[in-house]
Structure 1
Amino acid sequence: MKRHKKPEKEANHERWLITYADLITLLLIFFIVLWTFSNIDAKKFAGIAESLAKALGGGAGMVLEGPGPSVVAGAPVSEDRVETKFNLSAETKENLQLQKIKEQIEKYAKEQGLAGKVTARIEERGVVVSIQETVLFPLGSAELTPQAREIVRKVGQILLTTDNYIRVEGHTCDLPIHTARFPSNWELSVARATSVVEELLHAVHFPPERLAASGYAEYRPIAPNNSEANRQRNRRVDFVVLRSRYKETEPGVLPEFFYAKPKIAP
């Protein structure tokens, strides 16, 4: 018996629609991704920035001056996005502020040709601005030079941008001193710190309750006292911008009524 051949199926000429549909889907996903990049969620970005700052050991973190150009051509950039303030923690905000102070000091030192003599560094306790003795005082003296007064005023104006406590520290090298005014390096270091504080108070009108003066003589060196170059580095005045968490360890300010003069009965 002859076997009958099965009729062949007609070719499907619409299979291209599957490929076309896949292409359209991929294009749709691509444009959704572009739209997402052009509308970054500020709060989510701030959370990422804060997490990175903590992971990097409390560094300065990440700062966006603005949202940048839109990825999608013709998409308007909202002013609200430019002025968005990220919801950062107080610690991260303080880290950013301290980093800004450091950069301002370094910029000023570079512009005035004081690089190496006026330096700033970030430590665990805060920002430390160091000014060498040769820029501030004659050898063995606690009297500020005219150039020194200008430098102290400029540094003070930069430090006024923060509400943190400022500790002014006087340091000397290990060379002994014995004069009528300064029997030892202790008196000299304290007198230098006090001279700087007085300049901040009178010339910059710095809030006195935020200032403190201390002297460490030769006992807080930043380099070994084995050469004149190192001794010059050790003879310095430090402005320490204390982190807010150290405010709890500082003596508190008494209320105003403690300072009020009692009225004398007639």
Structure 2
Amino acid sequence: MAQKKTNIPAWMVTYADLMSLLLCFFVLLLSFAEIDAEKFRRVAEELSKAFGVQREVEATQIPMGTSAVFQQFSPAVPDRTLLDEVRQRTTQQQPQLESMRSMLEAQRQQRTLQLAASLEELLKTSSLEGVTDIEVDRFRVVVRIAEQGTFGSGNAEVTPAFAELLEELATVLAAVTGTISIEGHTDNVPISTSRFRSNWDLAALRASSVANILVSTETLSAERLMIQGFADTKPLASNLTPEGRAVNRRVELKIDINDPIEEREERSIRSMENSLSDVAAIQPAP
């Protein structure tokens, strides 16, 4: 049979044998080689020094940072003459700031009293005069409205007379600035119906009913209103008597007189007073 020819050159056979012999030769050399550990360590140390390889060095004290500002400069000590002038101007400005602050507070107090007078005049002409009470607490007017004649017993339905009064109140409250908190209160007699699981539900829904009527007039902004239900947690009288429980069943409208512009002015005055106090506390140079 004739031998099949291939395309592999003849010299490839010799080259492959040579590579195999070289591989065996280097493997044999490696098997006879021995590593000098001490010499290897010295060479490694020299290489680490030459190429900047860092080593772990145990620190006995935590290094503290420094600042070029502290090294080159020292804090200035205030001059006595200049400080005396500043303190003199501060002493002159302090009464002015106190006067401005007192004037702003007097304006708020005057608006509070005017609102209270307007509400009293309105309640005098109402059929619910005997069940309402007005109290002034600095910049706040509190209108207390008893349950009698305003809500049915054990429900949150507003009577027609109370609804008419609330519509007139909305017109008066729309003419002043400030937030209005509507709070519902009950006595300590438990309630459990299909609509009210507890006095908390009853108190909150009564406050909500008042807010709905105030907003329905479209004269009072809803953003000014806040509704809260306190159940029997804030009684005005003892719950041991029928008269005391009747006093505790009520709705309160708390009107806080405030103005955004005046509040900003008061904050500015307060900030200036604090700054003047800081200036007065600076110690002069000896």
TM-score (norm: length of structure 2): 0.53
Correspondent of 1:133 among 131, 143, 147: 147
1:108 equivalent to 2:122? Answer: yes
Amino acid at match of 2:252: D
Deviation at 1:110, TM superposition (A): 2.3
Query: Which segments of 5 or more consecutive residues in structure 1 lack a partner in the other structure?
Result: 1-49, 52-86, 249-266
Please say if 1:209 is aligned against 2:223. Answer: yes
Q: 1:172 to 1:124 in 2, by over 3 A?
A: farther
In structure 2, the residue matched to 1:264 is: none
Given candidates 184, 188, 210, the residue that maps to 1:174 is 188
Tell me the alpha carbon deviations over residues 12-57 of structure 1, each in whole angstroms, 9 at most, x when there is no partner.
xxxxxxxxxxxxxxxxxxxxxxxxxxxxxxxxxxxxxx98xxxxxx
Q: Work out which of the residue numbers 252, 269, 272 in structure 2 matches 1:238.
A: 252
Counterpart of 2:212 in structure 1 is 198
SS of the residue corresponding to residue 180 of structure 1 reads coil
State the secondary structure of the residue aligned to 1:153: helix
Of residues 218, 230, 234 in structure 2, which corresponds to 1:220? Answer: 234
Structure 1 or 2, whichever has the larger Rg, is 2
Structure 2 equivalent of residue 69 of structure 1:
none
Shift of 1:108: 2.2
Query: Is contact 1:106-1:115 (8 Å) kept?
Result: no
The one-letter code of the counterpart of 1:126 is R
Q: Is the CA contact 2:111–2:257 (under 8 Å) kept in the aligned structure 1?
A: no
Letter in 2 for 1:147: A
Runs of 4+ in structure 1 off by over 6 angstroms are: none
Using structure 1 for the length normalisation, give the TM-score. 0.57
Distance 2:245 2:188 in 1: 8
| Counterpart code for 2:177 | D
How far is 1:125 from its partner?
6.3
Partner of 1:81: none
User: What amino acid maps onto 1:148 in structure 2?
Assistant: F
Q: Is the 8 A contact 2:128 2:161 kept in 1?
A: no
Identity %: 33
Is the Cα contact below 8 Å between 1:105 and 1:119 reproduced in 2? Answer: no
1:135 shift after superposition: 2.5
- Residue range with higher mean Cα deviation, 115-124 or 218-227: 115-124
Residue from 107, 110, 125 that aligns with 1:93: 107
Distance 1:136 1:204 in 2: 22
Unpaired runs of 5+ residues, structure 2, are 1-97, 264-286
Distance 1:125 1:216 in 2: 23
Question: What count of residue pairs does the alignment treat as equivalent?
Answer: 165
Q: Residues 196-233 of structure 1, C-alpha deviation per residue, up to 9 Å, x if partnerless?
A: 11101112531011111110001111111122222111
